[in-house]
Amino acid sequence: MTRRVVITGLGVVSPIGIGKQNYWDSLVSGKSGITQISKFPLEGFASKIAGEISNFNPEDYGFSRKDIRRMDLISIFAVIAANEAMEDANIVITDPYRAGVMVSSGIGGITTFEIQHSNLIERGPTRVSPFFIPMMIQNTTPGEISIRFNLKGPNFSIASACASSTHAIGESFETIRRNDADIMVTGGAEAAITEMAVAGFSSMRALSTRNDEPEKASRPFDRERDGFVIAEGSGVIILEELEHAIKRDAKIYAEVTGYGATADAYHITAPCTSGLGSAKAMEFALNKAGISINDIDYINAHGTSTPLNDKIETTAIKTLFKEHAYKLAVNSTKSMTGHLLGAAGGAEAIATVLQIQNKILHPTINYTTKDPECDLDYVPNKARNFEIKNAISNSLGFGGHNASIVISKYE
């Protein structure tokens, strides 16, 4: 008998709110979290905007000054989100070897890397922190979570750029299905609003330069889109085997029913123009869920606001869903949050769950000019009452990585 996997806890740190209720309130009201970057001087930067976690002090969330000195911001964000998710799920761990962590990042501890590199250049090798390596490597993040909650099951991270946390959720789903765990803490975290990261993405011409109107810069599927807006945060969910959840009378938000992963094998950064890789990832996820294209009501798109991504993702949806594509609702959480890179899939899975639960679609904001090559229903600018039975959440990453999960109403 196939083991079913349900979602019993949610935790989020985002530019539009910390905590799932604040996050949801902002999503449904169409609030933008994009502002001018405050973390470093902006002279010479083509892109000067980001989705920052504003007015953030880790001490407000129980971190000591010692903790803060020894943890990169990705781990801090992830622990806050994991703590909310664990409290939300109300879990007491009885067998720690049946509970694991798979929380990913696309870039890792680049903040730590930049600070310690400056120490090396300016002050010499003896002034590089002994915590440099463990702070920087991304697998420390699930390690930190496991230590805090005594979770001794499968524990690692996945690096697939902006698909990292959707891959993490999908692989956690598979871990429970094959009976290697009963509980998985999963999702992603990212903290890459740094001089090097912004300069690098700017050199690629990947970022929006709509600096005079930050809140209008992220505009997925709009004809005037000019690039993505870098953002930071974390999205963590608790996956649990159904019978395990029922036995403890857990609150069940939704069910993960399918997962598909493919590679474009095309280009190191650009998506394949046919969209076939993404279409296949969605197809494989549907097959695993045992449902047809006509059973999908809604897609949370990768929707980055880059000229290529949005056009090709639209092509992928139409390739798989054919005429049914025009009956689907498709929206982009990134229109409000910006692009959380390796954490995007975790935050967007939570957005998908909350939309299923509340029977409301959040809008794709800043959609003002139709693009003839993006001709689906993107839920423009205003939330909409809508019942979702089966949804897909998509993530695509540099390197040609495609990941799709099916999240279904629990029945």
Cβ(11)–Cβ(89) under 8 Å? no
Residue 324 annotated to the active site: no
Q: Which two three-digit tokens encode residue 37?
A: 């970057």
Q: What is the DSSP string of 361-398?
A: EPPBTT--S-BTTB-SB--BSS-EE---SEEEEEEEET
Alpha-carbon distance 254 to 240, whole Å? 11
Q: Enter the DSSP assignment of 94.
A: S
Residue 162 annotated to the active site: yes
Q: What angle do CA 375, 373, 207 make, to 5 degrees?
A: 110
Length of the chain: 411
Q: Which two three-digit tokens encode residue 281?
A: 């990832």
Strands 254-263 and 5-14: antiparallel
Query: How many C-beta atoms surround the C-beta of residue 19 within 10 A?
Result: 17
- What is the CB-side half-sphere exposure of residue 153 using CA atoms within 13 A? 22
Active-site annotation holder among 167, 244, 302, 362: 302
Alpha-carbon distance 64 to 175, whole Å? 34
**3-class secondary-structure state, position 162:** helix
Radius of gyration of the chain (CA): 20
Residue 339 annotated to the active site: yes
Active-site annotation holder among 167, 244, 339, 362: 339
Active-site annotation holder among 162, 244, 272, 374: 162
Cα separations (Å) of 212 from 35, 208, 236, 335? Answer: 10, 11, 33, 17
Query: How many C-beta atoms surround the C-beta of residue 39 within 10 A?
Result: 13
> CB neighbours of 23 closer than 8 A, spacing ≥ 6?
12, 14, 16, 17, 347, 350, 351, 354
- What is the CB-side half-sphere exposure of residue 35 using CA atoms within 13 A? 12
Q: Which residues are tagged catalytic?
A: 162, 302, 339
